[in-house]
Amino acid sequence: MGRRPGAPTAQLMKVAEMPVESVFPRLEALLPHVQKPIQYVGGELNSTVKEWDSADVRWALMYPDAYEVGLPNQGVMILYEVLNEREGVLAERTYSVWPDLEALMREHGVPQFTVDAHRPVRAFDVFGLSFSTELGYTNMLTALDLAGIPLLAADRTLDDPIVLAGGHAAFNPEPIADFVDAAVIGDGEQAVLEMTEVIRAWKAEGRPGGRDEVLLRLAKTGGVYVPRFYDVEYLADGRISRVVPNRSGVPWRVSKHTVMDLDEWPYPKKPLVPLAETVHERMSVEIFRGCTRGCRFCQAGMITRPVRERSITGIGEMVDAGLKATGFEEVGLLSLSSADHSEIADIAKGLADRYEDDKIGLSLPSTRVDAFNIDLANELTRNGRRSGLTFAPEGGSERIRKVINKMVSEEDLIRTVATAYGNGWRQVKLYFMCGLPTETDEDVLQIAEMAKKVIAKGREVTGQNDIRCTVSIGGFVPKPHTPFQWAPQLGVEETDARLEKLRDAIRGDRKYGRNIGFRYHDGKPGIIEGLLSRGDRRVGAVIRAVYEDGGRFDGWREHFSYDRWLRACNATLPAEGLDLAWYTTRERTAEEVLPWDHLDSGLDKDWLWEDWQDALDETEVEDCRWTPCFDCGVCPQLGLDIQIGPTGRKLLPLTVV
């Protein structure tokens, strides 16, 4: 690497110690011996490889899961493009390697590498991980170890990258506080650029004060959480007494980042096209961000407030550019509840009209029962295939839907599926949760009754018997920054017993049972997710013990081991006077300091508590986009009046190619 005139010698220490040539020659020899070697070779359409010497700040971005899950991830794809567009900045991607390659890499001394230029991850300035689920924590430790980066942040030197956590699970980074140097909560687009400038300035000055100084500068911005600058004090009963900064200039509370105008950030402009098969074979455009429906279990809806819509024109331009850049034949219109965009009908019709001759299909990954209408459905399927419809009532009984604030009546659902079956659909999938607060066996058994009514209505409308309904059940996990953050979790045995009763109720019905599919997860993964989602720093020892015991890919059913997690809990938590149940099935009180209270999602804690009390009283709350404000706390912090569509900017017809 050529030395810039006047560049301090300290700046070059890292390069001298850590050569950054490609590890591909060593990796290539291992690839014939692993499954799906294509996922490790890089070179995807629209990927970016920049000269190492052209950049003064370098990011390695990771979605801590397999390539097939990580590559389509919008968050990483957006940040990859945002960073690489900047002069003097370089970003590359890395994903979790499967155990077969991990073993060979350890045997042959090949470090964790990026797929773009196969550079060693340890050579970068920042190693940023995007966590959409807490079950990716063990994969982070695997990547750190393979990279040669010390697992504990306290053991890292100037030659190690800043390990940064982001994504939805980073809204409570306390369980991984020992392993990450920093965390960013909220939207990443502006945050990564602001961090880049801080790091760039520190490097240009010759890296004064070392690692501690650059982390202090990041913490002082108020938007980067650095766990080492906060001390956690505990009460005798194990609860947290308080979390206090231990450095001057470090804020008491760290704020989330919010991108207000999505049209200013039309990313990804050139989506990555994978070489290997991935979980989503389509191009996706985020049509709006945030949700104010107020489902009390939904962390994503709570932490992404307020609602910010992309304009019709902006969406049209993104779809056009993305299709030209990728050649995909399907466009996913992404958001938490895509049919809630105030101009979704115009968007769907405009896009279907525009791409009718090209046979480009459209899809809405999430549709609410009360937002669905047949005109919209017909526009979405006009150019593509008519697959099954998925709806998420979440709760089986009217009572439990009031508790969770999912305002969908059984009549709404039956009317919607009748319309769908009557217009040619033959399959409907219904998604529910088990273990919700105040839930009884009877609430769950109502799911079977609802499914039977759906089949009966389908047969009545179509006059045919080949109607299918699939019931899919997930376990409820209380999440930080939601009204249910205080709720007790249902234990493993109780969850499994309840699901068994439901399965028997469905399968035992001779008239309808054969037409109802039943898919469910047992209670074990949910309990571990609950431990990690509401855990504090003491849970870090559990995560490390699981990793050292061989834990990898815990989000995959075939790799997850409940016994392994139980062993780790039993080996580490009793020394703190705690156990797994203390973190999961215990109800929290109003005065308890929660591990994430010093991280400001914008939501007022008193408002969340009031909403939790409303849940226990079975009181529903309207969507504040269309009703007066409920004072959740988000808008005043951003200096906003509540803003809703429509945008008034129509989709301009483009010339048909």
pLDDT in tens, 81-116: 999 999 999 999 999 999 999 999 999 999 999 999
Both tokens of residue 178? 């020992």
Compare 375 and 518 and report the one with higher pLDDT: 518
How many Cβ atoms sit within 10 Å of the Cβ of residue 539? 27
**Alpha carbons within 13 A on the beta-carbon side of 630:** 21
CA atoms within 13 A on the CB side of 237: 6
450-503 pLDDT, tens per residue? 999 999 999 999 999 888 999 999 999 999 999 999 999 999 999 999 999 999
Mean pLDDT of 116-139: 97
403 pLDDT more than 70 = yes
pLDDT at position 644 is: 53
> What confidence score (pLDDT) does residue 7 get?
36
Distance CA 48, CA 311 (A): 28
Distance CA 151, CA 544 (A): 9
β 254-255/599-600 pair status: parallel
Pairwise pLDDT comparison (433 vs 412), residue with the higher score: 433
Could you give the percent of the chain with pLDDT greater than 90? 77
The pLDDT, as a whole number, for residue 439 is 98
Judged against a pLDDT cut of 50, whether residue 287 lies above it is answered with yes
pLDDT value for 239: 98
| Whole-number pLDDT of residue 647 | 59
Provide the mean pLDDT of the chain: 91
Q: Which of 133-142, 221-230, 326-335 is predicted least confidently?
A: 326-335
Report which of residues 183 and 467 the model is more confident about: 183
Residues whose CB falls within 8 Å of the CB of residue 407, separated by 6 or more in sequence, listed in order: 370, 401, 620
pLDDT band at 370 (very low <50, low <70, confident <90, very high): confident
pLDDT of 159 higher than 50: yes
- For residue 646, name the pLDDT band (cuts at 50, 70, 90): low
Cβ-in-10-Å burial (0-12, 13-18, 19+) of 532 comes to buried
Q: Is 492 or 644 the better-scoring residue by pLDDT?
A: 492
Between 417 and 438, whose confidence is greater? 438
| Rama region for 170: left / alpha / beta (φ>0; ψ in -120 to 50; rest) | alpha
CA distance from start to end of the chain: 46
DSSP string, 348-384: HHHHHHHTTTTT-EEE-S---GGG--HHHHHHHHSSS
Does a cis peptide bond (omega within 30 degrees of 0) precede residue 268?
yes
Residue 17: predicted pLDDT:
37
pLDDT band at 279 (very low <50, low <70, confident <90, very high): confident
- pLDDT band at 11, cuts 50/70/90? very low
